[in-house]
Amino acid sequence: MKKIFIILPLFLSGFLFSQKKPQKKPVKKVATAKFNYHDEFRKISDEIMTNGAAYENLGELTKGIGPRFSGTSGYIKAVEWAEKKLKSIGIEMIWRMEAKAPVWIRGKESLEIKTANGDWKNIRMLSFGNSEGTGGKDLTGDIVLINSTSELNAMSVGQLKGKIAFVNLPMDPKIINTNDSYLATAKSKLISASVIAKTGAKALIIRSLTTATDDTPHAKMVYYEPDDKIRIPALSIGVRSADELEKLLKNQKVTAKINMNAQSKGDTTNPNIIAEIQGKKDAKVIVLGAQLDSWDFGEGAIDDGTGIAQCIEVLRTFKALGIENNHTIRLVFYANSENGGQGREMYAAYVKKKDEKHVFALGTDAGGYSPRGFSLDMPPQRRKQIFEWKNYFLPYGVYDFDQTDAIQDISPLKKLDIPLAELVVDTQRYFDYHHSEQDTFDKVNKRELLLGAVAMTQLIFMIDKNW
């Protein structure tokens, strides 16, 4: 009986199970990438390096229009050029956003120096942007050299009354990243007109913030504090003149004669230019930013004509390759970046008011030199995602994703918790020409400019497909 008891269930079970369809083992789905990113990167690079128009566009902007300072006809010409150029590559959504801009006129300006027994000698100079002038009259005074913060701190209030302060503070050559060197010097209170005015000095002369060794002066914007009772004129001189002046001051008294017709004439409005390719999936925005204005004395090629040309190239490439972007890709050409920054503040206020969802913002204001990476100012998890894409960028010489500073034109968007990035380039030549009359089209290398546009387009592509 035991044997029957055992066999019967086995038999029945076999009979009963045979009435059901055979069970198939579930097949595991293998996740496959929607894109071969190495191939997509190569397509982008091939298109830009073969058909890219950034260099020719930069030539039109810089040589055809020239200086495009806020509040001038040159800026309006640049606006009209940008709108026409964007339409020519098939962009349909283009509009203006008016922003306040100060009207500041440089006018004639001069600096002369003389020793006790010498004749007046003319020195090349540039007024600080937005500086007070001398009303067209000669301002004369003995020069006092200040080399360090400790020297400045040791001075009592009013100690330099009637004098002209000269700050000979070079960019630190030991700092390899020239952006860091520039910022360290630019933020020094030694070159603050408001701080120097408290010593009683009636004018400020500084050594130009540059890595060059020539005698070309480089401008800087002056910031006066609201409670300044006296706003003193401020100007810069080239490094050779600065070194020579310091040598003279070590042995004898030197007098300066400054004449500056600089004056402010209230405010006007200048437009930001905004253009976009609308997203196929949603209305979230990826924004590209560059400044359209330049200083009044140069073509503004590296600062920031190259950024303008690269942003246009990103949109042209998306159009040329027929890339269907998930999110809206928008570029913003900012007004009044050099002497105020109202354009970037206006755009950030617009985004906040409209409650627009911005996925990412990328700025470029680095001069069009060889791309090296991207500075990432964003939460750690977002940085980690971009780090994981590093191998796609390496064949294009792009490897540096460790920096964290974002460009000033997109920086107001940080308050809205938008992830920010800036194109990082080889900076070693940038401050040779920055904010000087040497900032001209011939300083830009076509291949370097296009490679920067390649890297930007590749990053925008990755963000669009993965965020």
Domain-located, residue 13? no
Please check the confidence at residue 39 and state whether its pLDDT lies above 90: yes
- In percent, the amount of the chain with pLDDT more than 70 equals 93
Q: Please state the rounded mean pLDDT for residues 122-129.
A: 96
Domain-located, residue 29? no
Please check the confidence at residue 256 and state whether its pLDDT lies above 90: yes
Closest CA to 81 of 115, 99, 56, 114: 56
Output the pLDDT for position 335: 96
Output the pLDDT for position 173: 95
Contact 291, 168 (CB under 8 A): no
Output the pLDDT for position 20: 41
Output the pLDDT for position 229: 87
Q: Please state the rounded mean pLDDT for residues 220-233.
A: 91
**Pair (211, 84) in one structural domain:** no
Domain-located, residue 338? yes
Please check the confidence at residue 61 and state whether its pLDDT lies above 90: yes
393: CB partners within 8 A, 6+ apart: 41, 373, 399, 455, 458
**Pair (100, 133) in one structural domain:** no
**Pair (338, 444) in one structural domain:** yes
Burial of 355 (0-12, 13-18, 19+ CB in 10 A): exposed
**Pair (54, 178) in one structural domain:** no
- Measured in whole angstroms, how far is the alpha carbon of residue 14 from the centre of its chain? 77
CA distances from 325 to 38, 68, 82 (A): 18, 32, 22
Average pLDDT, the chain: 92
Output the pLDDT for position 15: 35
Please tell me what DSSP assigns to residue 129.
B
Report pLDDT digits (tens) over 377-428.
999 999 999 999 999 999 999 999 999 987 789 999 999 999 999 999 999 9
Phi, psi torsion values for 118, nearest 5 degrees = -105, 180
Last residue of a domain, one of 226, 246, 261: 261
Domain-located, residue 20? no
Q: Please state the rounded mean pLDDT for residues 16-24.
A: 41
Tell me which residue range forms the domain holding 282.
Answer: 37-104+266-466
**Pair (236, 383) in one structural domain:** no
- The helix or strand, by DSSP H or E, that contains position 248, with its residue range, turns out to be helix 239-251
**Pair (398, 270) in one structural domain:** yes
Last residue of a domain, one of 261, 286, 303: 261
251 token code pair = 């042995």
Domain-located, residue 11? no
Output the pLDDT for position 107: 95
Domain-located, residue 5? no
Instruction: Kindly indicate the confidence band of residue 21, based on its pLDDT and cuts at 50, 70 and 90.
Output: very low
The total number of structural domains in the chain stands at 2
35: CB partners within 8 A, 6+ apart: 465
Angle at 374 between CA 343 and CA 210, to 5 degrees: 70
**Pair (58, 188) in one structural domain:** no
Min mean pLDDT across 2-16, 74-88, 104-118, 404-418 is at 2-16
110 token code pair = 């001069």
**Pair (85, 49) in one structural domain:** yes
Q: What distance in Å separates the CA atoms of residue 385 and residue 161, rounded to the nearest whole number?
A: 57
Domain-located, residue 17? no
User: Given the DSSP bridges, would you call strands 371-377 and 420-425 parallel, antiparallel or unpaired?
Assistant: antiparallel
Which residue do the tokens 């060794």 mark? 213
CATH classification at residue 58: 3.40.630.10
CATH classification at residue 151: 3.50.30.30
**Pair (340, 450) in one structural domain:** yes
